[in-house]
Amino acid sequence: MERALKTGAKQFTWISFLLAILKALLSWAVFAGILWLIKRGFDWVTVWIEDRFRELTQKKQIRGLNLLLWERLFLFVLLLIKVATGIFLLFQFSLLVSFTFGLFPATQGISLSLFEYFRGTFGAIGQAILDYLPRGGFVAVLAIITFYGIRLMKLFFLAIERGDIDFAKITPETATPTYQLLRILIVLFVLVVAFPYLPGGESDAFKGISIFIGVLLSLGSGSAMGNITSGVIITYMRPFRLGDRIRVGDTTGDVITKGLLVTRIRTIKNVEIVVPNANILSSQIINYSALARENGLILHTTVTIGYDVPWRQVHEIMKQAALATPGILADPAPFVLQTALNDWHVSYELNAYTHEANRMATVYSGLHENLQESFNAAGVEIMSPSYYALRDGNTTTIPEPQRPPDYRTPAFRVENPES
């Protein structure tokens, strides 16, 4: 008893207290040194990884989306290093705090409590990680197989798009949409398979969140799913291709993008119009470019000429005007149809072939210009006979440079039926 009291008295001497303080300061100084070394080491590792990343991207000439993926991988590696470093420092800090409290007799109980707490916490975390390793390994293997499987599938469809592989069921135009659709389906299937193996996947809270997300998607994605379904149908119907001149409803223009949700059309006035795929599928689609590439698109316009002009002359004038128009084909040859025999005039419809469906407005404008020139050169007025039947004394509507040299404005005629 006396010996124990003496020992306790020694423990509470000032010398022991000062030694404990020195040990604590030394321990914290060592910890500060470790922090400094880790900071310098982390900076060095960051610079080294960044240099290797830059060399790799420049050597392989990685650009665009692939460069963005490599940047995300670089940031992910740095994040893993930070997390590992943080866990190590947290463990060291907990040991240091417990060791510091253990140096002083008055706080040794706190030291033991902290040590047991930290040991239990880190032990539980470590045990949870060890218990999850088999399931986590399955998820990792599944992710790797899915990643490389999608990469191989992309190469296969890319070869179909380039024409290197001839696949009867898939055309080059549908290769990319088919790949994108299959990729989405594969990712969704893998997520469903991996869901029970995710951390907390079997908990009631996780299941409740998944049900809540499913309800939100089912309530809010009705129109989106309708557009996606329409986009898939349009993809395999192939009513038009990129660059085609089409008409959907009141919209006429060139197709610039085709997506699962919408199709973008640029009009001749350089206005971009976004049309939902569901609207396209439910409307009549007029494709001006589909046959124009091979057989030619027929452009047609109508003029009305009086009965006093021979129809053969009108046909010849209109055909010559068509052949003089840039973009109009000589073979097949233009042709004229007499579409109506009206009270005062005949309706003549000119039909001409062109391969340039995207220049319809320009070709039509040139065709109308040449029709005016040709009829004026032939001395035939393009106007309603109901006007010039009673126009004595009025000048002809043919431009002055194209009138005959001896042309004179007719005089007014006044007749007396009784004379």
246 domain-assigned: yes
Residues 31 and 122 in one domain: yes
Residues 279 and 357 in one domain: no
Q: Is pLDDT above 80 for 142?
A: yes
Q: List the strands of the sheet with 297-306, edge to edge.
A: 297-306, 345-354, 335-341
Residues 76 and 133 in one domain: yes
Residues 137 and 41 in one domain: yes
Q: Is pLDDT above 80 for 213?
A: no
Q: What is the CATH number of the domain that holds 263?
A: 2.30.30.60
Token pair recorded at residue 329:
């084909």
Q: What is the CATH number of the domain that holds 370?
A: 3.30.70.100
418 domain-assigned: no
Residues 339 and 246 in one domain: no
Average pLDDT over residues 126-143: 76
pLDDT in tens, 303-333: 998 888 889 999 999 999 999 999 999 999 9
Give pTM, 2 decimals: 0.57
Asked which of 131, 153, 175 is the last residue of a domain, the reply is 153
Q: How does residue 59 score in pLDDT terms, banded at 50, 70 and 90?
A: low
322 domain-assigned: yes
**Residue ranges making up the domain that contains 338:** 297-402
Token pair recorded at residue 85:
């470093």
Asked which of 241, 267, 287 is the last residue of a domain, the reply is 287
206 domain-assigned: no
Residues 60 and 101 in one domain: yes
Report the greatest alpha carbon distance in the chain.
168
Rounded CA gap, 395 and 392, in Å?
A: 9
Residues 379 and 276 in one domain: no
Average pLDDT over residues 89-117: 73
Residues 70 and 148 in one domain: yes
Q: Is pLDDT above 70 for 60?
A: no
Residues 267 and 326 in one domain: no
Residues 282 and 308 in one domain: no
Give the range among 7-16, 111-120, 172-181, 251-260 with minimum mean pLDDT.
7-16
Residues 243 and 334 in one domain: no
pLDDT in tens, 341-368: 988 889 999 999 999 999 999 999 999 9
Rounded CA gap, 318 and 300, in Å?
A: 11
Q: Is pLDDT above 80 for 92?
A: no
Number of domains in the chain: 3
- CA distances to 351, 359, 363, 376 from 367, rounded to whole Å, are 11, 12, 6, 14
Q: Select the more confidently predicted residue: 388 or 52.
A: 52
Asked which of 287, 314, 331 is the last residue of a domain, the reply is 287
263 domain-assigned: yes
Cβ atoms of 266 and 330 within 8 Å: the answer is no
192 domain-assigned: no
Q: Select the more confidently predicted residue: 407 or 193.
A: 193
Residues 319 and 371 in one domain: yes
Token pair recorded at residue 113:
């409590």
